[in-house]
Amino acid sequence: MAHRKAVRTARAVVAILALSALSGCGPAPWNGGGPDPTPTPTATRRSPVPAPVSNDLSSGSTQREVSAGAVSAAINYWSTLSMDRWTATALKPISLSMVTTITPNDGQKVYLQKATMVAVPGNATTSFDPLSPQVDQSSVAPGYLVLSPYSYSQTFNVGDLPAEATFVTVQFTYDFLVQTTPESTEYAKQTATDTLVVAIAQPATDTEE
């Protein structure tokens, strides 16, 4: 009798130990336990880097040589406004100085009858409407004498541009009158064109992380 009680007691102890061992193995399956899921990497959003914009006045000035028939014009362009202040709303001056030569030089003179500037704003995808032309029409006949050593100087201004503009294309047209002979009162008209592209300074923006 005592032997049977001992056996039953031993079996009970083994069952309790087994249950204890199971309870120490971790969360029960019905509790949804298990290792933490691997975190999903979060993509970092960055603002697109704008494409660089060409700037013919990046050094503050530029020199050009343009031709119209027998006339060659050496032109210096510059701006008294620094490039970081060439914003869409600023008044943006472009100054120029010109002197011409003629080949062959038989003694005839060269006159500038008219100089015209047209500014066309744009960006990488859009060309906006041009601004109103600015014209310097000679107030003397037949025009301004521009044959070396005489020169022509003028300042034009680029006004308000659309906020979306990242550059402005500045188109110049020069109308010359050339004497047909040194003593003649008859003239031949020659037209030269030139183009500058100037970057528009953009307002600072916060980078989105």
Q: Are 74 and 98 in contact (CB under 8 A)?
A: yes
Give the C-alpha distances (Å, rounded to integers) separating 177 from 75, 105, 111, 113, 191: 17, 15, 5, 6, 9
- Quote the number of domains for the chain: 1
Of the pLDDT bands very low, low, confident and very high (cuts 50, 70, 90), residue 18 is: very low
Of 198 and 32, the structure prediction assigns the larger pLDDT to: 198
Question: Is 114 inside a domain boundary?
Answer: yes
Q: To 10 degrees, the CA torsion angle through 80, 81, 86, 92? A: -60
pLDDT at 53: 83
Give the C-alpha distances (Å, rounded to integers) separating 44 from 6, 111, 158, 208, 209: 69, 62, 40, 9, 6
Angle CA 193–198–203, to nearest 5? 155
- Report the distance separating Cα 119 and Cα 134, nearest Å: 9
- What is the b/e burial string over 144-169, where b = at least 16 CB atoms within 10 angstroms of the residue's CB? bebbeeebbeeebebeebeeebbbbb
* Type of residue numbered 77: Y
Domain of residue 157, residue span? 61-199
Q: How does the average pLDDT of the chain come out, rounded? A: 84
Radius of gyration from C-alpha coordinates of the chain: 41
For the entire predicted model, the pTM comes to: 0.74
Using the structure block, give the residue that is written with the tokens 């990046």. Answer: 58
Provide the CATH number for the domain around residue 191.
2.60.40.1470
Question: Is 111 inside a domain boundary?
Answer: yes
Question: Is 34 inside a domain boundary?
Answer: no
Question: Is 19 inside a domain boundary?
Answer: no
- Please write the tens of the pLDDT for every residue from 44-96: 555 444 567 889 999 999 999 999 999 999 999 999 999 999 999 999 999 99
Please name the helix (run of DSSP H) or strand (run of DSSP E) that holds residue 113, with its range, or none: strand 110-122
Question: Is 42 inside a domain boundary?
Answer: no
Of the pLDDT bands very low, low, confident and very high (cuts 50, 70, 90), residue 35 is: low
Question: Is 148 inside a domain boundary?
Answer: yes
Question: Is 130 inside a domain boundary?
Answer: yes
Question: Is 171 inside a domain boundary?
Answer: yes
